[in-house]
Amino acid sequence: MATVQVTSDNFSRVVSDTGTVVLDFWASWCGPCRSFAPVFEKVSEQHPDIVFGKVDTEDQPEVAAGFEVRSIPTVVVIRDGVVLYAEPGALPERAFTDLVGQARDADMDEMRQRMQASG
């Protein structure tokens, strides 16, 4: 699946309660964002069952603010409505591929139990 542009208008549709979504918060003026873009695209092509979305922080500041994005690029991984990962920094391909694999393999029942216990 190709990456999708995520906006405040389509955010709810893209980030539904089921499935895995990987978001890349970026801006055109950001060098590290431009370096990470081909890695994001390549990994997205290897996982057609996962939604990969790009959020332009200049055009969509309200979406970025919702995730408290303070530095770009920032990668956010959401599975079944639960944020599993949200960290700034351009990841090398191997690390990004590993992150996507961990999200796919995560035991969501265990994650929900941990969240209930801590919250």
> Is 30 known to be catalytic?
yes
> Is 33 known to be catalytic?
yes
CA distance 101 to 66: 25
CA distance 92 to 35: 10
* Active-site residue (options: 22, 33, 51, 76): 33
β-partners of residue 83 are 78
Distances (CA, A) of 76 to 4, 26, 67, 91: 14, 12, 8, 12
* Active-site residue (options: 23, 30, 76, 78): 30
Active site residues: 30, 33
